[in-house]
Amino acid sequence: MNQLGIAAIIPVKTAKQLEDEAVQRQQKDAQQPVIQGLASHVRRRWEMMRDYKDKEITPRLKECHRARNMEYSPEKLREIRQQGGSEIFMGIVSNKCRVATAWLRDSLLGTGADKPWSIDPTPVAEVPPQIQATLQQIMEQNLMMYYQQGNEPLDPMTLRGLAERMKETAKAQMQHEAEKRVERMERKMEDQLLEGGFLRALHAFTDDIATYPFAVLKGPAPRKRRKVTYAPEGGMTTTDELVDEYERVDPSKLYWAPWGDNLNDIPVIELHSLTREDLQAMIGVEGYSEDAIRSILADFGNGGSWLDGSIDDPDEVTGLDHDEAVNDVVDAIQLWDSILGKDLIEWGLPESEIEDPHMSYACEVWMVKNTVIKAVLNYDPLARKPYFATSYEKIPGRIDGNGVADLAMDAQAMCNAAARALANNMGISSGPQVGVNISRLPAGEDITQMYPWKIWQFQTSDYNDGSQPLTFFQPNSNAQELMAVFEKFLSMADEVTGLPRYMSGEHVPGAGRTSSGLSMLISHAGKSLKQVINNIDKDVIEPLLERKYQRNLRYSDDPDLIGDVKIVAKGAMTLVVKEAEAVRRQEFLNLVLNSPVAQQIVGLPGAAELLRDAASHLNFANLDRIVPTREQVEQQVAQQMAMQQQMLEQQAAQEQQQPGGGPKNLQADGSEQGGRQTGNFISPRPNGV
C-alpha cells in the first residue's frame, strides 16, 4: 500500500512481453562459451554423419522403399519409357515383406501368457535385506523353541546338520519369495510397457526390419503427458505425469558415426520434426531451457527449416512432403556423444560436475536453428543410449545389415524384366502382323484398322512383279521361355529370403499336398525366421527390458523389486515350440488329473498351479475367479486337514465311550465283530437244531 493506505496496482505483463523477455535472455545466454562450443560441436558431428549416410546408407533406403511400394526408380522408369511397352511391376519384395511381418507379429505381439518375454529369478535368488533378516529370525526362534521343550543340548556335528537343514529350508523360502516378487513385478512392467506404447512401437518396428537394412526401437524415453484421473474428492481431473514411452525410429532419421558397430559406443544423432505443440510440451520438463524454447516459438514458421538443402531428398524415403510442412514443423537435432571433460570446462560447464578433465563424459544435446535447447550429461549408469537396432540379416562389423528387400532385390529386378518382356511379347504375338505395299493403295484408303469382313481396295502394280499388296505373318510367342525365367527367379527369391511361398498359404506340389507335409515344410522354413527373431530378442527385447527394470530399481520405491533377475526373451522359442509346448502341457495336466499316484505326488496346490497355467493361455478376463491362487489352495488344504483331524479326534472319543472301554465294535450278544470268543467256536444252528 502507498502512504494513503491505497493498494498499489501492479501491472500484469502480457504474453507478448513475457515472450520478448525470454527471447532477450536467450540471446544473452547464446553468447556464452558453453552454448557456442556445443552448437559448433553439434554442427560438426551432424555434417560428418550426414555425409556418411548420404553416401553409404540413404541410397539403399530409397531402393528398399521403392521396392516395398512397387515403384521403379526415376532412372529406370525413364529407360523403360524410352524403349516403350509395359511398365508392369511384380510385387515380389512387397509380398515377401508382408509374409515376414506377419510371422514376426504372430511371434512377438502377445500379451499376458503369450507375451514374448518374462522375468525369472536367478538360480540363487537375492531378496531384500529385511526379508533375509526375517528368515534368519525364524531360524533362531525355531532353535530356541527346541531348547525350551527340554531337549538336551546338541553336539557340534548334530547342531551343524540341523543348521544346514534350516539353511536349506530358508533358501527354499527365499527362492519362493523371489519368485512371487518377480511375478508381481512382471505384471507391473507389462502394464508400464502397454501404457508407454511398446506394442504399438513393436508393431511398426516389424515393418521396418522386413523392409529396410536396419530397424530401430527407442525407449524408455520419459515424456510429460496429460492424463485424466480420479480426483480425491470425487469426479475427474487432469494431471501431468512423466511416462516412459517407446517408439519406432524412422531409419531415414537416425545417423551414426562410421567407426563402430554398436550404437552405445559411437556418436548418434536422431533428426526430429517438431510441431509447435511438441515444443510447448518441453516447457517445464527437467533439462530443457524454457527461454530457448520460447525464443524458437517466437520465430516458429519463419524462414523454413534450417536443414534445407542438407538432406538428400528425405521425402523419397519417408514418403512425406517436407516442403508443404515447412511452416508447421521445425527440424531439431538430438545428439548423443561423449565429450572430453576439459572441453566441457572450456565451454563453461561447472568444474564440480567434471571429476576428471581428461575423461570423456556422455552427453545429450538438443539443438534447433543453432539454438541449444537442452544440454545435459547422460545420467544412465552405463552411459547407454535409448536406441536398439538390429537387422533381418546381420552383417558383422556393421550396424546396418540386409532386409528382405535387399535380399530379394536382384530376383525382383529379373522377374520385372521377364514380366515386362512377357507382356510386350504377348501383345505382339496375340494376333497377325500386316505388311502393306502402300504403292498399291488408292488415295484415302485407311490402313490403321483391321476388322472382319473389311473390303480392301488396291491399284494395279505398274511393274507387274507379282508382289502382294498385303502380307500377313504371325510373330513368335516366347511366353513359355519367359514364364520359365520368371518362375526360376521367383524360386530364387524364396531361397535367398528364407520365406517360401507356402508360408503365405500358397499351394505347392510334393510334400505340401497334405496338411502334415505342409506343417513339416513350414517347420523347416521357420528355422531361418527363428534366427531373425533371435536377433530381435538379443539386440532389442532383452536390453530394452533390462534397462526398464533397472530404471524401476533406480527410481521406484516398489517393495517387490529385487536386484538379481534375468530377462528372458521368448520370441524365437515360441515360433518353433509354441504349439508343441501347448500339447505337452495338456498331456501333463491330463496325467496329473487322471492318475491317483500323480495326484498324491503333486498334491492339490500343484494341480491348481497346472490349472492356472493352462487357463492363463485362454485369455480369461479374470483368472482368479476361476482358479484360486496357490496361497488360497494351501489355506483350503490346511482347513481340510484340520477338519479331518477334528473328525478323527471325535471318532476316537466316541469309541472310548463304547462298552469295553476300547475301540471295539460288539455284536448284539456282546461278542466282538469279526472274531471268535472262548467257547464260541461253533455257531449254534437256527431254532436250536
DSSP string, 307-368: TTTTSS-THHHH---TTTTTTT-EEEEEEEEEEEHHHHHHTT--GGG-S-TTSEEEEEEEEE
* Contact by Cβ (8 Å): 67, 493: no
Q: What is the SS3 assignment for 430? A: coil
Phi–psi pair at 620, nearest 5 degrees: -70, 145
How far apart are alpha carbons 37 and 43 in whole angstroms?
10
Quick check: 34 pLDDT over 60?
A: no
Confidence at residue 621, expressed as pLDDT on a 0 to 100 scale: 52
Segment 313-323, tens digit of pLDDT:
444 444 444 45
Quick check: 403 pLDDT over 90?
A: yes
How far apart are alpha carbons 437 and 468 in whole angstroms?
7
- Angle (CA) 121-123-126 rounded to 5° is 60
User: Which are the contacts of 190, defined by CB distance < 8 A and separation ≥ 6?
Assistant: 111, 112, 115
Residue type, 342: K
Confidence at residue 313, expressed as pLDDT on a 0 to 100 scale: 46
Angle between helices 129-148 and 156-195 (to 10 degrees): 150
Segment 484-513, tens digit of pLDDT:
999 999 989 888 888 877 666 555 555 444
Largest CA distance in the chain: 155
Residue type, 501: R
Q: Where are the domains of the chain?
A: 16-57+213-402, 425-530
Nearest Cα residue to 211 out of 30, 490, 412: 412
Nearest Cα residue to 220 out of 249, 199, 245: 245
Mean pLDDT of the region 241-268: 91
CB count within 10 Å of CB 504 equals 13
Peptide bond into 314 cis (omega under 30): no
Secondary structure of the chain: what % helix, strand, coil (to 5)?
55, 15, 35
* Contact by Cβ (8 Å): 211, 252: no
Confidence at residue 24, expressed as pLDDT on a 0 to 100 scale: 54
> Worst-scoring range by mean pLDDT, 27-36, 181-190, 426-435?
27-36
- Label residue 658 by pLDDT band (50, 70, 90): low
> Worst-scoring range by mean pLDDT, 233-242, 479-488, 511-520?
511-520
Confidence at residue 529, expressed as pLDDT on a 0 to 100 scale: 78
Average predicted confidence (pLDDT) for the chain? 76
- Label residue 438 by pLDDT band (50, 70, 90): confident
> Worst-scoring range by mean pLDDT, 295-309, 404-418, 644-658?
295-309
How far apart are alpha carbons 330 and 336 in whole angstroms?
20
Segment 556-602, tens digit of pLDDT:
777 667 666 777 777 655 544 555 566 677 777 777 777 787 777 77
User: Which are the contacts of 561, defined by CB distance < 8 A and separation ≥ 6?
Assistant: 181, 185, 552, 553
SS3 of 383-396: the string is CCCCEEEECCECCC
Question: Could you tell me which residue, 217 or 667, shows the higher pLDDT?
Answer: 217
Mean pLDDT of the region 667-685: 52
* Contact by Cβ (8 Å): 249, 270: yes
Confidence at residue 420, expressed as pLDDT on a 0 to 100 scale: 92
Quick check: 214 pLDDT over 90?
A: yes
DSSP string, 281-314: HHTTSTTB-HHHHHHHHHTTTSS--TTTTTSS-T
* Contact by Cβ (8 Å): 598, 592: yes
Mean pLDDT of the region 520-537: 73
DSSP string, 5-43: SPPPPPPPPPHHHHHHHHHHHHHHHTTSHHHHHHHHHHH
Angle between helices 571-594 and 596-616 (to 10 degrees): 140
* CB-neighbour burial class of residue 252 (10 A; exposed 0-12, middle 13-18, buried 19+): buried
Segment 185-199, tens digit of pLDDT:
888 888 889 888 999
Confidence at residue 5, expressed as pLDDT on a 0 to 100 scale: 40
Question: Could you tell me which residue, 311 or 541, shows the higher pLDDT?
Answer: 541
Confidence at residue 29, expressed as pLDDT on a 0 to 100 scale: 52
Quick check: 10 pLDDT over 50?
A: no
How far apart are alpha carbons 663 and 667 in whole angstroms?
13
Nearest Cα residue to 100 out of 458, 405, 556, 325: 405
CB count within 10 Å of CB 556 equals 14
Quick check: 48 pLDDT over 60?
A: yes
CB count within 10 Å of CB 410 equals 13
> Worst-scoring range by mean pLDDT, 51-55, 116-120, 360-364?
116-120
How far apart are alpha carbons 280 and 224 in whole angstroms?
11
Segment 328-362, tens digit of pLDDT:
788 899 999 988 888 877 766 677 777 888 888 88
From residue 140, give the alpha-carbon distance in Å to each of 144, 164, 581. Answer: 6, 13, 44
- Label residue 518 by pLDDT band (50, 70, 90): very low
> Worst-scoring range by mean pLDDT, 169-173, 313-317, 467-471, 649-653?
313-317
